[in-house]
Amino acid sequence: MKIAVFVSGGGTNLQAIIDNTKTGILKDIEIVLVLSSSPSAYALTRAADNGIPSVVMRAADYPSREQWDSEMAECVQKSGAELIVLAGYLSLLGPKTVSMYSNRIINIHPALIPSFCGAGMYGIKPHKAALARGVKVSGATVHFVNENYDDGPILLQKSVDVLPGDTPETLQKRIMQECEWKILPKAIRLIADGKVSIENNIAYVTE
Protein backbone atom coordinates (compact mmCIF):
# COMPACT_ATOMS: atom_id res chain seq x y z
CA MET A 1 0.00 0.00 0.00
CA LYS A 2 1.20 3.54 -0.81
CA ILE A 3 0.84 6.21 1.88
CA ALA A 4 1.33 9.97 2.18
CA VAL A 5 2.51 11.25 5.57
CA PHE A 6 1.62 14.79 6.61
CA VAL A 7 3.92 16.53 9.09
CA SER A 8 4.51 19.90 10.76
CA GLY A 9 7.40 19.41 13.16
CA GLY A 10 10.05 17.03 14.42
CA GLY A 11 8.73 14.00 12.57
CA THR A 12 9.36 11.35 15.23
CA ASN A 13 6.14 9.60 14.21
CA LEU A 14 7.25 9.76 10.56
CA GLN A 15 10.53 8.21 11.68
CA ALA A 16 8.68 5.41 13.44
CA ILE A 17 6.82 4.68 10.20
CA ILE A 18 10.05 4.82 8.15
CA ASP A 19 11.80 2.47 10.59
CA ASN A 20 8.91 -0.02 10.35
CA THR A 21 9.01 0.01 6.54
CA LYS A 22 12.68 -1.01 6.79
CA THR A 23 12.80 -3.54 9.60
CA GLY A 24 9.37 -3.74 11.14
CA ILE A 25 5.72 -4.47 10.41
CA LEU A 26 5.43 -2.15 7.38
CA LYS A 27 7.90 -3.72 4.91
CA ASP A 28 5.25 -3.77 2.16
CA ILE A 29 4.25 -0.15 2.72
CA GLU A 30 5.69 2.61 0.51
CA ILE A 31 5.80 6.23 1.72
CA VAL A 32 5.30 8.00 -1.61
CA LEU A 33 5.05 11.55 -0.23
CA VAL A 34 5.79 13.61 2.86
CA LEU A 35 3.71 16.81 2.92
CA SER A 36 4.67 19.48 5.44
CA SER A 37 2.79 22.57 6.60
CA SER A 38 6.15 24.13 7.53
CA PRO A 39 9.35 24.59 5.48
CA SER A 40 11.43 24.28 8.65
CA ALA A 41 10.01 20.96 9.86
CA TYR A 42 12.82 18.55 10.74
CA ALA A 43 10.52 15.86 9.37
CA LEU A 44 11.56 17.12 5.90
CA THR A 45 15.17 16.23 6.72
CA ARG A 46 14.06 12.75 7.79
CA ALA A 47 12.24 12.38 4.44
CA ALA A 48 15.28 13.56 2.45
CA ASP A 49 17.60 11.26 4.41
CA ASN A 50 15.39 8.36 3.33
CA GLY A 51 14.87 9.38 -0.30
CA ILE A 52 11.18 10.17 0.19
CA PRO A 53 9.72 12.94 -2.02
CA SER A 54 8.41 15.88 -0.01
CA VAL A 55 6.45 19.06 -0.55
CA VAL A 56 5.62 22.07 1.62
CA MET A 57 2.05 23.33 1.36
CA ARG A 58 1.11 26.26 3.58
CA ALA A 59 -2.41 27.68 3.31
CA ALA A 60 -0.94 31.17 3.73
CA ASP A 61 0.99 30.73 0.46
CA TYR A 62 -2.24 30.40 -1.55
CA PRO A 63 -4.77 33.04 -2.68
CA SER A 64 -7.51 31.14 -0.88
CA ARG A 65 -8.02 28.15 1.41
CA GLU A 66 -10.10 26.57 -1.34
CA GLN A 67 -7.17 26.70 -3.78
CA TRP A 68 -4.83 25.33 -1.12
CA ASP A 69 -7.26 22.48 -0.47
CA SER A 70 -7.71 21.71 -4.19
CA GLU A 71 -3.98 21.68 -4.87
CA MET A 72 -3.36 19.50 -1.83
CA ALA A 73 -5.96 16.96 -2.95
CA GLU A 74 -4.47 16.92 -6.45
CA CYS A 75 -0.91 16.58 -5.15
CA VAL A 76 -1.77 13.60 -2.96
CA GLN A 77 -3.84 11.93 -5.67
CA LYS A 78 -0.96 12.29 -8.16
CA SER A 79 1.40 10.66 -5.66
CA GLY A 80 -0.72 7.52 -5.82
CA ALA A 81 -1.21 7.47 -2.06
CA GLU A 82 -4.09 5.27 -0.91
CA LEU A 83 -3.95 6.44 2.73
CA ILE A 84 -3.06 9.78 4.31
CA VAL A 85 -1.35 9.59 7.72
CA LEU A 86 -1.28 12.79 9.80
CA ALA A 87 1.86 12.46 11.94
CA GLY A 88 2.32 15.57 14.04
CA TYR A 89 0.41 17.59 11.42
CA LEU A 90 -1.18 20.69 12.91
CA SER A 91 -3.45 22.11 10.22
CA LEU A 92 -7.15 21.34 9.74
CA LEU A 93 -7.62 19.67 6.35
CA GLY A 94 -9.89 21.21 3.74
CA PRO A 95 -13.21 19.60 2.71
CA LYS A 96 -11.99 18.57 -0.76
CA THR A 97 -9.04 16.59 0.61
CA VAL A 98 -11.16 15.07 3.36
CA SER A 99 -13.91 14.00 0.94
CA MET A 100 -11.44 12.66 -1.66
CA TYR A 101 -9.88 10.49 1.07
CA SER A 102 -13.03 9.75 3.04
CA ASN A 103 -12.24 7.16 5.75
CA ARG A 104 -8.67 6.97 4.36
CA ILE A 105 -7.07 9.62 6.59
CA ILE A 106 -5.79 8.78 10.08
CA ASN A 107 -4.28 11.00 12.77
CA ILE A 108 -2.24 10.38 15.93
CA HIS A 109 -3.35 12.44 18.92
CA PRO A 110 -1.29 12.50 22.13
CA ALA A 111 -4.17 11.85 24.54
CA LEU A 112 -7.02 9.36 25.06
CA ILE A 113 -9.79 10.98 22.97
CA PRO A 114 -12.33 12.35 23.93
CA SER A 115 -10.08 13.71 26.69
CA PHE A 116 -7.77 16.64 26.05
CA CYS A 117 -8.43 17.08 22.34
CA GLY A 118 -9.94 19.54 19.88
CA ALA A 119 -8.80 22.89 18.56
CA GLY A 120 -5.65 24.16 20.23
CA MET A 121 -4.88 20.82 21.94
CA TYR A 122 -1.58 19.85 20.32
CA GLY A 123 2.08 19.33 21.20
CA ILE A 124 2.73 19.72 24.93
CA LYS A 125 -0.74 21.12 25.70
CA PRO A 126 -2.64 17.81 26.09
CA HIS A 127 0.00 16.64 28.57
CA LYS A 128 -0.18 19.85 30.58
CA ALA A 129 -3.98 19.53 30.69
CA ALA A 130 -3.80 15.87 31.73
CA LEU A 131 -1.47 16.62 34.64
CA ALA A 132 -3.54 19.67 35.64
CA ARG A 133 -6.66 17.44 35.76
CA GLY A 134 -4.82 14.82 37.82
CA VAL A 135 -5.59 11.87 35.54
CA LYS A 136 -3.94 8.56 36.51
CA VAL A 137 -3.52 7.29 32.94
CA SER A 138 -3.01 9.06 29.65
CA GLY A 139 -1.85 7.91 26.25
CA ALA A 140 -2.40 8.29 22.53
CA THR A 141 -5.20 7.74 20.03
CA VAL A 142 -5.23 6.91 16.33
CA HIS A 143 -8.50 8.05 14.79
CA PHE A 144 -9.98 8.59 11.35
CA VAL A 145 -10.09 12.22 10.26
CA ASN A 146 -13.07 14.30 9.21
CA GLU A 147 -13.40 18.08 8.84
CA ASN A 148 -13.21 18.70 12.58
CA TYR A 149 -10.27 18.41 14.96
CA ASP A 150 -9.85 14.97 16.59
CA ASP A 151 -13.46 14.03 15.81
CA GLY A 152 -13.52 10.91 13.59
CA PRO A 153 -13.93 7.23 14.55
CA ILE A 154 -11.35 5.99 17.06
CA LEU A 155 -9.22 3.13 15.67
CA LEU A 156 -6.55 2.39 18.29
CA GLN A 157 -5.65 3.70 21.74
CA LYS A 158 -2.75 2.87 24.07
CA SER A 159 -2.29 4.15 27.62
CA VAL A 160 0.52 4.67 30.11
CA ASP A 161 0.34 5.36 33.84
CA VAL A 162 0.94 8.92 34.95
CA LEU A 163 3.88 8.62 37.35
CA PRO A 164 4.62 10.62 40.50
CA GLY A 165 6.79 13.59 39.57
CA ASP A 166 5.80 13.49 35.92
CA THR A 167 6.20 16.77 34.09
CA PRO A 168 4.43 17.52 30.79
CA GLU A 169 7.74 16.79 29.08
CA THR A 170 8.37 13.41 30.75
CA LEU A 171 4.78 12.35 30.13
CA GLN A 172 4.97 13.45 26.48
CA LYS A 173 8.19 11.52 25.91
CA ARG A 174 6.80 8.32 27.49
CA ILE A 175 3.58 8.55 25.47
CA MET A 176 5.51 9.09 22.24
CA GLN A 177 7.88 6.18 22.93
CA GLU A 178 5.41 3.68 24.39
CA CYS A 179 2.22 4.65 22.60
CA GLU A 180 2.45 6.87 19.50
CA TRP A 181 5.37 5.20 17.80
CA LYS A 182 3.67 1.81 18.31
CA ILE A 183 -0.01 2.34 17.51
CA LEU A 184 0.46 4.54 14.42
CA PRO A 185 2.44 1.87 12.52
CA LYS A 186 0.01 -0.78 13.83
CA ALA A 187 -2.96 1.24 12.51
CA ILE A 188 -1.36 1.43 9.06
CA ARG A 189 -0.80 -2.35 9.18
CA LEU A 190 -4.41 -3.07 10.07
CA ILE A 191 -5.74 -0.83 7.31
CA ALA A 192 -3.32 -2.28 4.73
CA ASP A 193 -4.53 -5.77 5.73
CA GLY A 194 -8.17 -4.74 5.28
CA LYS A 195 -8.95 -5.49 8.91
CA VAL A 196 -10.75 -2.21 9.68
CA SER A 197 -14.39 -1.34 9.11
CA ILE A 198 -16.48 1.68 10.11
CA GLU A 199 -20.18 1.54 11.01
CA ASN A 200 -22.18 4.38 12.55
CA ASN A 201 -18.99 6.36 13.19
CA ILE A 202 -17.45 3.45 15.14
CA ALA A 203 -14.29 1.75 13.85
CA TYR A 204 -14.04 -2.03 14.23
CA VAL A 205 -10.91 -4.18 13.91
CA THR A 206 -11.31 -7.76 12.72
CA GLU A 207 -8.18 -9.64 13.85
**Quick one: 13 or 20, whose CB is closer to ligand GRF?**
13
Q: Is there a catalytic annotation at residue 109? A: yes
- Compare residues 70 and 178 and give the one whose CB is closer to ligand GRF: 178
Minimum distance from residue 69 beta carbon to ligand GRF (Å):
21
The per-residue b/e assignment along 125-160, b for 16 or more CB within 10 angstroms, e otherwise, is ebbbbbbeeebeebbbbbbbbbeebbbbbbbbbbbb
Min CB(107)–ligand GRF separation in Å: 7
- Residue 89 near residue 4 (C-beta atoms within 8 A): no
Q: CB 88 → ligand GRF: shortest distance, Å?
A: 3
Q: Which is nearer to ligand GRF, 32 or 44 (CB)?
A: 44
Minimum distance from residue 42 beta carbon to ligand GRF (Å): 8
Which of 7, 8, 33, 109 is catalytic? The answer is 109
Neighbours of 49 (CB within 10 A): 10
Enumerate binding residues for ligand GRF (CB under 6 A): 7, 9-14, 43, 87-88, 108, 110, 123, 176, 180
For the bound state, the minimum distance from the C-beta of residue 121 to ligand GRF, rounded and expressed in Å, comes to 10
Q: Is the Cβ–Cβ distance between 184 and 137 less than 8 Å?
A: no
Residue whose C-beta lies closest to ligand GRF: 88
Query: CA-to-CA distance for 92 and 202, rounded, in angstroms?
Result: 21
Catalytic positions are 109
